[in-house]
Amino acid sequence: MNIINVTRDGEKKLHEELKHFKEVRRPHVIHALKEARRKGDLSENAEYDAAREEQRLVESRINQLEQMIRNVRIIDESRIADDKAYVGARVDLKDVDSGEELFYILVNEVEADFKARKISTVSPIGKSLLGKSVGESVEITIPKGTLRYTITKISR
């Protein structure tokens, strides 16, 4: 697996999710399996089959999170240049058509949270903003059409 560049908040989010899976989801699945076994014949027990499938998904996510955490590299936000848009940067934009001002924070896909205006650098918008400078215009093709923005500010 490749190095995953994340902010301190992103690393914290990964650890919290792993803790939740280990301390809440896994015990819940174990309990569900015990209950299903207690009911008898496992060959025709849909409850048991569902619990086994959930166990597989939970263990898979735990393994995935553990591997991601091993490959995390925390971004030193104090070293993010303000002249170009990179992971960890806040990019202020002005919509060329409407004049609306907005911003996005560029993050790794594990940190993406659209409600918090944190967008992944692999999303169409994030990809289009990466490496751009203040004053540059960007055109971003999305399923609903084309967005046109001018970058007004880049900060940490």
Which residue has tokens 């301190």?
8
CB atoms within 10 A of CB 6: 25
Residue-level pLDDT at 26: 97
Query: Token pair of 141, please?
Result: 């093709």
Is CATH 3.10.50.30 what the domain over 77-155 is classified as, yes or no?
yes
In the chain, CATH 3.10.50.30 sits at 77-155
pLDDT at 41 over 90: no
pLDDT in tens, 97-121: 999 999 999 998 888 998 999 999 9
CATH architecture of 4-74: Orthogonal Bundle (1.10)
Cβ within 8 Å of residue 113, ≥6 positions away: 107
Q: In this structure, are strands 90-95 and 145-155 parallel, antiparallel, or unpaired?
A: antiparallel
